[in-house]
Amino acid sequence: MSDPLALTDIAEETPSGSVSRAASHPTLFNIDTPLSQHAEEDHQASNVHGNHHTQSDYSRPPPVTPKLGQLRVRSGSSVSRVDVEFFDPEGVQALRRTMTKETQERGWPSAAPSSTNHALTDEPFDFEQTIRHVVRRREEALIAQRSIGVAFQNLRVVGRGASASYQRTLGSALNPLGVLENVQNIRHPALRDILGGFEGVVRPGEMILVLGRPGSGCSTLLKTLANQRQEFYAVEGDVHYDSLSPQDIHDHFRGDVQYCPEDDVHFPTLTVEQTLKFAVTTRTPRSRVDASREQFQDEVVKVITTIFGLRHTLNTPVGDAAIRGVSGGEKKRVSIAEAMATRSCVGAWDNSTRGLDSSNALEFVKALRIATDVFHTTTIVSIYQAGESLYKHFDKVCVIYEGRMAYFGAADKARQHFIDMGYEPANRQTTADFLVAVTDPIGRILRAGVISQPRTAAEFAEYFLKSEAGKENRADLDSYIEEFVGKPHVASAYMTSARAEFAKGSGKKNPYMLTIPQQVRAVMKRRVQIIRGNLLATGLQVFSFIFQSLIMGSVFLKMPQNTANFFSRGGILFFSLLFSALTTMAEIPALYSQRPIVLRHQRAALYHPFIEALALTLVDVPLTFITTIFFSIILYFMTGLQRTASQFFIFILFLFTMSITMKAYFRAIAAAFKSEAAAQSVAGIAILALSIYTGFTIPKPSMIGALRWITYINPLRYGFEAMITNEFRTLKGECSSLVPRGPGYENITLANQVCTTVGSVPGQPFVDGNRFAGISYGFFWSKTWMNFGIVIAFGVGFLTFLLLFTEFNTASAVESSVMLFKRGTGPNDEEAVNEKNSRGLMVSDDDEKLQKEDTASVPAMNDVFTWQHVRYTVPIAGQGDRLLLSDVSGYVAPGKLTALMGESGAGKTTLLNVLAQRVYTGVVTGDRFVNGQALPVDFQSQSGYCQQMDTHVPTATVREALLFSAKLRQPKSVPLAEKEAYVEKCLKMCGLEKYANASVGSLGIEHRKRTTIAVELAAKPKLLLFLDEPTSGLDSQSAWAIMSFLRSLADNGQAILCTIHQPSAELFQVFDRLLLLQKGGRTAYFGDLGRNAATLIDYFEKNGARPCLDDENPAEYMLDVIGAGATATSKRDWYQLWQSSQESTETQREIEAIHAEGRNRPAIAASIHTEFATPWAYQVVELLKRDAEAHWRDPTYLMAKLILNIVGGLFIGFTFFKAKHSIQGAQNKLFAIFMATILSVPLSNQIQVPFIQMRTVYEIRERPSRMYSWTALVTSQVLVELPWNILGATLLFLTWFWTVGFESSRGGYTYLMLGIAFPLYYTTIAQAVAAMAPSAEIAALLFSFLFSFVITFNGVLQPFAQLGWWRWMYRLSPYTYLIEGLLGQAIGGQQVSCSPVEFVTITPPSGMTCGEYMNPFISFAGGYLTNADATSACQFCSIRTTDQFLNAAFNIFYNHHWRNFGFMMAFFVFNFSCIYLLTYIFRIREGSILPSFKRRAAKK
């Protein structure tokens, strides 16, 4: 059977006066015209040329398929076309057969004369015509294609300027002048022009490439054309989408115009199929002939995944940094496929090839080309470092120079335009690089003989407007405006066809295609899929509920029905309510992580954002219900709460309703704030308020009037009232404390005894629960269903706020891109530096001269590093060993720049890590030598390694980062003045002098990369410099600046080995030598490149590769030849060819010669004979300085810490304001102390974040460089936190101690415990938990879990007397001793004066006074009488002293206070030791712990 006809691209169409603007969709439509002879010839020519899976030539002329007369004319360009079979030939063939079969089965007319009997004959089949026909039939038989172009005139975009250029510190945050400055900036923001003077048109079926240096305005242009205007201060000028205005598009047809950011943001646990099907579902048209919604969705997903080669990934999760999913190239294609599935007419793609190698980047652009041609869309793309093969796929190009339009027109005419202007491209410079280079005063080359070239951005823009290209662009724009703009019938036809797709009842004024119920159904289905994709998280949540219910159930196990357990019953109900509410706080980070996805979907008009919140709530209801059932059954029956069906089900009802209500509350808080930090702070203070004002810790009668209103707005209080009264309404608690009792009272009757529990009635041996709840808490059963109604009202209210905030507050907090300088310093020319915002940062000519002079000061190297027959295998769980490097040999000579290249996954970084001794798992075999002799013991210290990720302490300045490296990596014997002088030289060498005082975290990508290199140079590496992807993510000019700097280092004797991807031909020429790896870490070539890469090209051509074209990039040529790329293969085994080649033999001979010559010289001596260059104490001091500076420059962190202590102290203090000396007053003071200790939970979570961030910098960069000891790091991290936490605790003490009403004479010891011992404990326990956690999120979960034991068993929630079996945990809990110390000291040894409600009335036997009757009892049990001489109604208070209250119930003794302080210090020392131990076990020690235990056991 002959090859079926490939789907080729839309080519030039003949103009037609009858251009139909009526449309259904930008996708597919019918063509009933036979193919022209010309098209068939083109197709055969393309097949003769060869399949892309071997070696493809992108310079062939485009095949042409005739199109409908009613398609629009596209401006001329000799663009390279892409076969629709490109990604998945087999899948496309299968799909053709399926569609032919369906066409026959459904009785539809054939798309082409030969298509109906395709399955039975060998005639060609036109896939393009069939797809267009079939999908057209599934929509509306008489509705034609819908497409839309973009035209713009006099376009100007104004943004907010850089208002602050200094780094914030705690000092600046507290400075009142700073507040005034901020207010002034809000009232009068600094403005700047981002774009100005733009005009042009992009028609349907056209692809335009937007080029410019970073900061020139490429992203701004893309966002503006895609109608994403929210972040700009103003957009002026005219933008037309045919006859529709930007406002029309935004309000009614937002889904037709989309902006796709460079990051691929998807739900990571969804599969590729689920992701795409969701997009199709939300944009499924109303009219589908002979196909249900499901069938339509399935078939569109099938078509799209086949065209983009994603069939094999359908059931693979999309994944992210934490969840393994599809590859980077595949994820790009998922993003394109998703945009195509939503059937948009205009797509803007912002720098989407970042991080891809050249083969994957090319595949991305080819996928876009297919999509543009098949669906006749308007495509706008910005790309950094675009290769020639990429460039050829574009129709037009726009060049931006500092926010001005330097060129806009045909892509194939742009190069000549700038040559005519007076500039010339460098040798083998790609067109895209040349176009960007002319906008760089340093990178451009003046053409000889031309003297009047435009130099500034304004001159470039003016030159273009007057040029032939400018006139053509204006004519193109005018013809478009005349034909399509301001034509009511065009707008009407577009609107009619678009509205025909909208579901009935979806409303005429919104851009969403589905009705609200349809959106809810689709998003709920997706939410279920997200949960199923991440069952571990759901399982952990259910487990935590079950585990906590078991623990609490065992603590309060089978409580007797007596008055001694009244308090405990309240405690268990309070805990169950609070725990289910608190767990929702853990959702806040997840809600923020999904916000960018929801925002993108809203802008794509897939669904209302509030639908996501509603779906989350609805899907959560059954999950919450199941969790509540498990939790309730275990807890309820273990603790022995009232066992009647009605009480049990009311307990479940309120617990479930409160859970849903509180989830809506915390989600609403998250939705209300743009930043996560603000939401967490508010949620933390809200938890404090909610828990205190529930009515358990302080009953309503005891609250001060000024704050009692909080109880009325606290939903927990209404739920707690209902649960308390539900439990107590049938409870007749047997009195545990009849008074009087004991010796001498054996024969008295109940008439002369009374129960001391609140609510007791004389003459009754029990206390009525209803009466107890009413008097003690002010709670009444009669209000239960009113409370239920109030809880429901709160739930509905919170849900309404959640939906409103989610709908209207979809944006996230955006980080500033302004360069920040250390206070008191600044750049030499601040304006020049802040131009980072408008045009990026580059090194001036003077800087470059200085740089070249200073590189001469780098210590020259004379030693050659070699490696021979290196193999590296790693064990894979369940699969045996995997070979990552296979027999790799080579060398790096001084003065030479060696490139290490290969496709993604070839093992480039792996080889670099193996050579630099930075791998800690697996087995490395083979030899690594310096001058043919063994590596010195301090090889890592004598070599520099620049990682791909620029990992630095973001608050440190560039100079501080270099000085830190120099101080700790150069030997201690080198004087400090010499190190400082060398750091200044390194700053000059790297072109960083102007930015020496800028914080590293605020630098642009290029200058951060320069800082990474400078940090390594500051260590004075003697042997060689390793670099991993130094140009990744840079534009071509920044990449050139970095590589020319490395070239100058090499020219001065430095030996450099560097991995690189996507190098332009110009960049490739910078290298002297190349090591090329294939997949599996196999060598395909090692040797010199030669002039213009001639040596390399000769090697491949003589071994049977296709010839390298004159204008082809040798770097892309060699990757293509060896079969690099996701969809490419090679017929030859280049690894075997290399192994058997003369060049390989020659390489081995050269290595042996290096070894022989080197062995005649003495071995390289170790410059450092200890593990580190500096002593331990010196390391600690330097680390302390760095950590202290990092804290001071992070005012958000410190202010959050201090404000939480102050607000918490004031809130608790005023809640228990001037607590009285009554029994309730003593209990209030107990809870005032307990609640103050609870503040350690949010404070500890804060501490863990900087601890883990600093450890990450150490693990990624500083540990492999042997910069300092891990013990020095841990020591400095503990020491730097303690002063701030002691300051915070001091503020807590000052705002809390006197407001609660403790005696000043007791303040000294209380401060010692709360102001010193308390922060010492929680700082070290927080860091000990963080030491074993891989991330801050897991650290927070671990800490909450472990800390729940500390809180549960400290004798407050369940007094010691009732703890039973768990008393051993009471003795292990540190807060047992903290609370005993604080409470015993604060109120121990004081008199109690009962309040009127706490007195019990006793009737003495006739003939006896109260004193005579009660004194024997008082003598051994305590208490006092107010009317000892009375003969009736004795007023008795059961407690005389606080010691009696504390000893009996809480096991707290005043005289234990120094013992308790000693225990707290012991816990501090234990925690401090644990930080070191756990850091060693979990982060430092290599290998698992179990094998070592097994070995020890075997020895025994």
Task: Please state, in angstroms and rounded to a whole number, the distance separating the CA atoms of residues 874 and 923.
Answer: 6
Residue 826 has pLDDT above 70, yes or no: no
**pLDDT recorded at residue 213:** 84
Q: What does each C-alpha distance from 295 to 95, 281, 572 come to in angstroms?
A: 15, 11, 53
Residue 521 has pLDDT above 90, yes or no: yes
Residue 830 has pLDDT above 60, yes or no: no
Residue 476 has pLDDT above 90, yes or no: yes
**pLDDT recorded at residue 80:** 63
For residues 466 and 405, is the Cβ–Cβ distance under 8 A? Answer: no
Mean pLDDT of the chain: 81
Burial call 928-938: b when 16+ CB within 10 Å, e when fewer: bbbbbeebbeb
Which tens digit of pLDDT belongs to each residue from 1064-1105?
777 888 999 999 998 888 999 999 998 888 999 999 999 888
Burial call 1170-1179: b when 16+ CB within 10 Å, e when fewer: eebbbeeebb
Residue 106 has pLDDT above 60, yes or no: no
Highest mean pLDDT among 21-25, 1118-1122, 1252-1256, 1358-1362: 1252-1256
Residue 656 has pLDDT above 90, yes or no: yes
Mean predicted confidence (pLDDT) in 1411-1440 = 88
**Residue 144 identity:** A
Which tens digit of pLDDT belongs to each residue from 1348-1392?
788 888 887 777 877 778 888 888 889 899 998 988 888 888 888
Categorize the per-residue pLDDT at 222 as very low, low, confident or very high, splitting at 50, 70 and 90. very high
Which tens digit of pLDDT belongs to each residue from 1362-1373?
777 888 888 888
**pLDDT recorded at residue 1216:** 87
Q: Among 110-124, 131-145, 390-404, 1029-1043, name the one with the lowest average pLDDT.
A: 110-124
Highest mean pLDDT among 126-130, 825-829, 1162-1166, 1252-1256: 1252-1256
Categorize the per-residue pLDDT at 113 as very low, low, confident or very high, splitting at 50, 70 and 90. very low
Categorize the per-residue pLDDT at 520 as very low, low, confident or very high, splitting at 50, 70 and 90. very high
Q: Among 118-122, 896-900, 1342-1346, name the one with the lowest average pLDDT.
A: 118-122
**pLDDT recorded at residue 1074:** 93
Query: Which stretches of 1353-1409 are DSSP H helices?
Result: 1367-1372, 1374-1387
Tokens of 345: 């007419």
Which tens digit of pLDDT belongs to each residue from 314-348?
888 988 766 778 876 678 788 878 887 888 889 99
Q: Among 184-188, 823-827, 1328-1332, name the one with the lowest average pLDDT.
A: 823-827
**pLDDT recorded at residue 58:** 34
Residue 1315 has pLDDT above 90, yes or no: yes
Residue 1263 has pLDDT above 50, yes or no: yes
Mean predicted confidence (pLDDT) in 429-446 = 87
**pLDDT recorded at residue 546:** 92
**pLDDT recorded at residue 1285:** 96
Mean predicted confidence (pLDDT) in 431-453 = 87
Highest mean pLDDT among 145-154, 306-315, 364-373, 960-969: 960-969
**pLDDT recorded at residue 1313:** 93
Max alpha carbon distance in the chain (Å)? 131
Query: Which stretches of 1140-1269 are DSSP H helices?
Result: 1142-1158, 1176-1192, 1195-1215, 1223-1238, 1240-1257
Categorize the per-residue pLDDT at 518 as very low, low, confident or very high, splitting at 50, 70 and 90. very high
Residue 272 has pLDDT above 90, yes or no: yes
Which tens digit of pLDDT belongs to each residue from 1035-1049?
777 788 788 888 988
Which tens digit of pLDDT belongs to each residue from 388-429?
888 999 999 999 999 999 999 999 999 999 999 999 988 777
- pLDDT higher at 1104 or 287: 1104
Instruction: Identify the H or E element spanning 890.
Output: strand 880-892
Mean predicted confidence (pLDDT) in 39-43 = 37
Which residues on adjacent β-strands are paired with residue 733? 767
Q: What does each C-alpha distance from 1488 to 314, 919, 1264, 1498 come to in angstroms?
A: 35, 16, 20, 17
Highest mean pLDDT among 541-555, 808-822, 859-873: 541-555
**pLDDT recorded at residue 1269:** 93
- pLDDT higher at 130 or 720: 720
Residue 1154 has pLDDT above 60, yes or no: yes
Mean predicted confidence (pLDDT) in 608-624 = 93
* Four-CA torsion 1374, 1379, 1380, 1382, nearest 10 degrees: 130
Q: How many CB atoms lie within 10 A of CB 859?
A: 11
Q: pTM for this one?
A: 0.79
Residues in the chain: 1500
Mean predicted confidence (pLDDT) in 364-372 = 81
Categorize the per-residue pLDDT at 858 as very low, low, confident or very high, splitting at 50, 70 and 90. low
**pLDDT recorded at residue 1167:** 63
In the chain, what percentage of residues exceed pLDDT 90? 31
